[in-house]
């Protein structure tokens, strides 16, 4: 009996590993459930040449602006020397981080929260001397700021944009007048559902993202 | 069914039975138990003081199910419960490492580790943590506590005090090999899956992906990565070797010289990820996962090696050999194993309570400070105006990663960077772009020493192309001297490279 149970367990585990491999190899439902994260081995599945950061800013009643992430009690560095919020590539957790800071600090009433995605080319991570020796000029550091979400203090989305790279991809497509003409001609007057916006081949997340238009997070207890 | 197929299926069944159910001393899984527990302590001890912030509803957890758009798998714990779980997890990892109430400790550690990881997808959960989850989960089914553990010490003491002869009491306990086999199959599946991922990314095979990964600052500093980043051809070769190894691992890591080769390459690969990518816990976890490949004959080999070193008497190797000499351990007090589990439960409760009390005292959020809660840091309006400015297009100069000139191309990249060429040589100018970018017009202008344009070469680069190579034939009539190549995107000069053309000396001609 015990030997049969062992047979079943071994078969089940090896079967689960095979499900993960097949699902990943043929892109079949590899994201349908969180358990797939334990079965699909997609390390370094994508990349971009930009280093991302996230800033969460609160706007008070008085018109002043406050830093919500990192919170005033200090930041946590999970893997290196940068704070935890910077490991959220799509900046979807900014609202949560902002609410944590608001809940545990003394502050004036807030009117809006801003979640800002910052990106800069990774080549600016090179040491100054190495950069100057290779490129023949000092670093002309420039970061791109892209407001991802504007939220109410209770977590409702006032406005949102797709990620910086999807936005750049969209701008690149809009440079093609023929493509824009074809897209406008084929769009219905009244769309029947949410339009999917492609995000380009070089993002590390699924190719399509539904346009946001829903509340993120629950109301903040006040 | 024919006789041949019957005997063939019996042969397969016998082979599988031997593969999974041979009795063996669990050396490999015992070593894995010790090393993986230690590795997870390195990850989870620093996170303990942030447990409320990372894993509880009183903080900012980022559950993995939010990434998948799935309903919550379990409720987010309160701050106190998260700290209690984290404290008990650390206790369970320590007792797993020491081998006390081993199976129970591993079960508690597995449950605690998976719960906490699932609650923080941006600061805790990672592929290394998922690999570690599988490893400690599979260890729960093994007899990894039967050797090199406190449980084994207690067991031997119990037997010796009961009058069992030492050679019988101290004999190692054997158990079926199937947990170790599952661990081996698991790590082989991980590498095969990782190879599948790489096969889907064309830019992995041109070195472009590795180039940008090596200059990231998401992990620890990686000076060797920054040194290797300008050499995509070399990175491509490394990448191809790694890919072949990952594909072959599950088929060749079982016996003989191929086992040593696969594990050796793997160890080198993971050490290189530390040096080039700044990953530190990933290599520790993955190298620990190789320990189940250790078997009884390996341990016997090491015992003979250390015995030989001990015989030398003096020197470093003799000292190492003496560290691993067989020892007669003193007898421990004996009590019923059930009492050990009760003691573990009591220690766990005390640890949970003590952890919650200590975390309350530390007051991470500062809510109980004499001066009251923290106030938010006010931001400079100019900084905010910059942060909230309208999104802009990427500058042309930010779209170029590398621009190099040479004469030989390997793996699609220039390998011999040069600044001097001879008349008649073919010069190649390689431009690497930063993903993502839109469709571009890339031009390469050749200027002489007086900045007169001699040639203007251009091409369209589609959004999915990251590397362009311009060819220039430096004809024999091209005057020797200094020249420049200027790379432009649209009208903007991005980067320039200077080089010198040397004259070619011809042999003397006879007068007509």
| B247-261 pLDDT tens trace | 999 999 999 999 999
The reply to whether B47 and B139 lie within a common domain is: yes
CA distance A94 to A88: 8
In terms of domains, do B151 and B21 share one? yes
B362 touches chain A (CB under 8 A): no
Do B374 and B400 lie in a common domain? no
Cβ of residue A17 closer than 8 Å to a chain B Cβ: yes
* A153 falls within a domain: yes
Residue A168: predicted pLDDT? 92
Nearest to A47 among B209, B374, B392 (CB): B209
Same domain, A28 and A54: no
Whether A99 and A165 share a structural domain:
yes
- Pick among B400, B438, B460, B490 to test the A interface (most A CBs inside 10 A): B438
Arithmetic mean of pLDDT over chain B: 92
Are A108 and A91 in a shared domain?
yes
Flag if B123 and A84 touch (Cβ within 8 Å).
yes
Asked if pLDDT for residue A211 goes beyond 50, the answer is: no
pLDDT, one tens digit per residue, over B328-349 is 788 888 777 788 889 999 999 9
* Per-residue model confidence (pLDDT) at position B507: 53
pLDDT of residue B4: 66
CA distance B463 to B431: 14
Is A100 part of a structural domain of the chain? yes
pLDDT digits (tens, 9 = 90+) for B284-305: 999 999 999 999 999 999 999 9
**Same domain assignment for residues A54 and A159:** yes
Q: What is the ipTM of this complex?
A: 0.90
- Could you tell me the residue range of the domain that residue A62 belongs to? 45-210
Over residues B55-89, the pLDDT tens digits come to: 999 999 999 999 888 889 999 999 999 999 999 99
Instruction: Tell me the percentage of chain B whose pLDDT exceeds 90.
Output: 71
Q: Per the domain annotation, does A219 fall within a domain? A: no
Q: Average of pLDDT values for B220-224?
A: 86
- In the DSSP assignment, the letter for residue B336 is -
* Per-range mean pLDDT, top range of A208-217, B45-54, B233-242, B326-335: B45-54
Instruction: Look up the domain containing B40 and give its range.
Output: 15-176+335-387
Structural domain contains residue B201: yes
Q: Tell me the pLDDT tens digit for each residue of B419-443.
A: 999 998 999 999 999 988 899 999 9
CA dihedral in degrees (A132, A135, A138, A139; nearest 10)? -110
Residue B191, domain member (yes or no):
no
Whether the bond into A70 is cis, omega within 30 of 0: yes
Cβ of residue B23 closer than 8 Å to a chain A Cβ = no
Q: Which of B269, B294, B319 is the last residue of a domain?
A: B294
Whether residue B141 sits in one domain with residue B220: no
Is residue B189 a part of any domain in this protein?
no
Angle at B170 between CA B166 and CA B173, to 5 degrees: 145
Residue A83 lies in a domain: yes
Mean pLDDT confidence for B488-512: 79
Number of domains in chain B: 3
The pLDDT tens digits of the residues spanning A81-95 come to 999 999 999 999 999
Residue B79 lies in a domain: yes
State whether A127 and A22 are in the same domain: no
Which pLDDT does position A213 carry in this prediction?
Answer: 38
pLDDT tens string B182-205: 999 999 999 999 999 999 888 888
Same domain, B44 and B165: yes
- A187: left (phi > 0), else alpha (psi -120 to 50), else beta? beta
Tell me if B219 and A93 make a contact (CB, 8 A cut-off).
no
B218 closest CB neighbour out of A82, A105, A165: A82
Q: Which of residues 254-313 of B touch A (CB under 8 A)?
A: 278, 281
pLDDT level of residue B508 (50, 70, 90 thresholds): very low
- Tell if the CB–CB gap between B374 and A71 is shorter than 8 Å: yes
Does A30 reach chain B within 8 Å, measured CB to CB? Answer: no
Per DSSP, B171 falls in state S
B312 domain-assigned: no
Give the pair of three-digit tokens for residue B378. Answer: 């006010």
Identify the pLDDT of residue B67. Answer: 87
The shortest CB-CB distance from B278 to any of A57, A72, A80 is to A80
Are B468 and B425 part of one and the same domain? yes
Residues A9, A30 within the same domain: yes
Same domain, residue pair B352 and B273: no
Among B387, B417, B452, which residue terminates a domain?
Answer: B387
Give the pLDDT confidence score for residue A219 in this predicted structure. 36
Q: What is the pLDDT of residue A192?
A: 59
Same domain? A18 vs A61? no
Q: Is residue B187 part of a domain?
A: no
Instruction: Kindly state whether residues B19 and B147 are assigned to the same domain.
Output: yes
Residue B325 lies in a domain: no
pLDDT confidence bin for A47, thresholds 50/70/90: confident
- Tell me the average pLDDT across B6-34: 90
Residue B310 lies in a domain: no
State the pTM of this model: 0.90
Co-location of A14 and A95 in the same domain: no
Confidence of residue A220 (pLDDT cuts 50, 70, 90): very low
B33 and B150 in a single domain? The answer is yes
C-beta atoms of B193 and A24 within 8 A: yes
Residues A49 and A148 in one domain: yes
Residue A72 to residue B377, Cβ atoms within 8 A:
yes
Residue A147 CB contacts under 8 Å (≥ 6 apart), including other chains: A114, A115, A116, A117, A161, B387, B388, B391
Taking CB atoms and an 8 Å limit, are A21 and B53 in contact across chains?
Answer: no
B220 close to B281: Cβ distance less than 8 angstroms? no
CA A182 to chain B, closest CA, distance in angstroms equals 19
Burial class (CB in 10 A: 0-12, 13-18, 19+), B328: exposed
Judged by CB atoms closer than 8 Å, whether chains meet at A101 and B376 is answered as: yes
Q: What is the mean pLDDT of chain A?
A: 85
Are A28 and A111 members of one domain?
A: no
Q: What is the largest CA-CA distance in chain A?
A: 74
Per-range mean pLDDT, top range of A43-47, A204-208, B239-243, B503-507: B239-243
| 3-state helix vs strand vs coil in chain B, percent to 5 | 55, 15, 30
Number of domains in chain A: 2
Q: Contact B365/A125, CB-based, under 8 Å?
A: no
Across B208-231, average pLDDT: 88
- Tell me, yes or no, whether B26 and B155 share the same domain: yes
């Amino acid at each position: 009996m015990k030997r049969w149970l062992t047979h079943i367990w071994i078969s089940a585990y090896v079967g689960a590993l095979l499900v993960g491999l097949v699902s990943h190899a043929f892109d079949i439902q590899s994201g349908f459930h969180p358990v797939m994260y334990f079965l699909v081995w997609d390390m370094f599945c994508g990349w971009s040449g930009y280093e991302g950061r996230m800033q969460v800013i609160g706007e008070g009643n008085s018109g002043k602006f406050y830093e919500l992430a990192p919170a005033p009690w200090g930041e946590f560095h999970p893997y290196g020397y940068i704070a935890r919020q910077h490991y959220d590539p799509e900046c979807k957790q900014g609202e949560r981080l902002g609410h944590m800071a608001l809940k545990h600090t003394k502050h004036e009433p807030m009117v809006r929260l801003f979640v800002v995605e910052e990106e800069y080319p990774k080549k600016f991570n090179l040491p100054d001397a190495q950069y100057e020796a290779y490129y023949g000029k000092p670093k002309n550091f420039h970061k791109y700021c892209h407001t991802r979400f504007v939220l109410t203090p209770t977590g409702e989305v006032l406005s949102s944009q797709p990620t910086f790279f999807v936005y750049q991809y969209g701008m690149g497509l809009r440079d093609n007048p023929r493509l824009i003409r074809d897209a406008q001609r084929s769009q219905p007057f009244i769309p029947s559902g949410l339009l999917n916006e492609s995000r380009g081949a070089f993002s590390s997340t699924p190719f399509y993202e539904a346009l946001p238009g829903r509340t993120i997070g629950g109301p903040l207890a006040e | 069914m024919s006789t041949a197929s019957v005997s063939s299926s019996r042969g397969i069944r016998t082979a599988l039975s031997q593969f999974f159910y041979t009795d063996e001393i669990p050396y490999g899984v015992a070593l894995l138990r010790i090393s993986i527990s230690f590795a997870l302590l390195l990850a989870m001890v620093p996170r303990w003081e942030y447990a409320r912030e990372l894993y509880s509803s009183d903080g900012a957890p980022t559950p993995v199910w939010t990434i998948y758009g799935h309903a919550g798998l379990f409720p987010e714990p309160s701050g106190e419960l998260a700290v209690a779980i984290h404290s008990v997890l650390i206790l369970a990892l320590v007792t797993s490492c020491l081998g006390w109430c081993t199976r129970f400790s591993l079960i508690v550690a597995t449950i605690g580790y998976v719960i906490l990881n699932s609650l923080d997808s941006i600061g805790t959960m990672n592929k290394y943590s998922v690999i570690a989850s599988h490893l400690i989960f599979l260890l729960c089914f093994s007899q990894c506590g039967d050797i090199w553990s406190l449980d084994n010490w207690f067991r031997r003491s119990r037997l010796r005090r009961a009058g069992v002869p030492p050679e019988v009491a101290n004999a190692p306990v054997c158990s079926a090999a199937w947990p170790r086999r599952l661990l081996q199959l698991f790590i082989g599946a991980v590498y095969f899956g990782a190879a599948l991922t790489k096969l889907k990314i064309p830019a992995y095979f041109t070195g472009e992906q590795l180039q940008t990964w090596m200059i990231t600052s998401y992990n620890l500093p990686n000076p060797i990565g920054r040194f290797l980043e300008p050499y995509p051809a070399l990175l491509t070769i490394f990448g191809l070797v790694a890919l072949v190894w990952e594909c072959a691992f599950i088929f060749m890591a079982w016996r003989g010289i191929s086992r040593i080769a696969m594990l050796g390459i793997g160890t080198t690969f993971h050490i290189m990820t530390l040096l080039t990518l700044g990953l530190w816990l990933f290599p520790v976890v993955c190298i620990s996962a190789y320990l189940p490949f250790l078997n009884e004959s390996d341990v016997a080999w090491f015992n003979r090696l250390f015995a030989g070193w001990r015989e030398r008497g003096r020197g470093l190797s003799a000292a190492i050999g003496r560290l691993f000499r067989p020892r007669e351990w003193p007898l421990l007090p004996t009590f019923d194993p059930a009492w050990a589990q009760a003691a573990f439960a009591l220690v766990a409760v005390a640890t949970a309570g003590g952890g919650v009390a200590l975390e309350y005292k530390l007051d991470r959020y500062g809510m109980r400070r004499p001066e009251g809660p923290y106030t938010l840091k006010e931001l400079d309006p100019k900084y905010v105006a910059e942060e909230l400015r309208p999104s802009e297009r990427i500058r042309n100069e930010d779209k170029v990663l590398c621009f190099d000139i040479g004469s030989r191309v390997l793996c699609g990249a220039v390998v011999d960077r040069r600044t001097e060429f001879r008349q008649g040589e073919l010069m190649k100018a390689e431009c690497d772009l930063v993903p993502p970018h839109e469709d571009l017009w890339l031009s390469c202008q050749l200027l002489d020493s007086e900045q007169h344009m001699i040639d203007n070469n251009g091409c369209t680069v589609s959004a999915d192309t990251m590397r362009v190579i311009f060819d220039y034939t430096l004809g024999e009539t091209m005057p020797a001297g200094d020249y420049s190549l200027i790379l432009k995107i649209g009208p903007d000069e991005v980067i320039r490279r200077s080089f010198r053309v040397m004259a070619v000396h011809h042999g003397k001609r006879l007068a007509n």
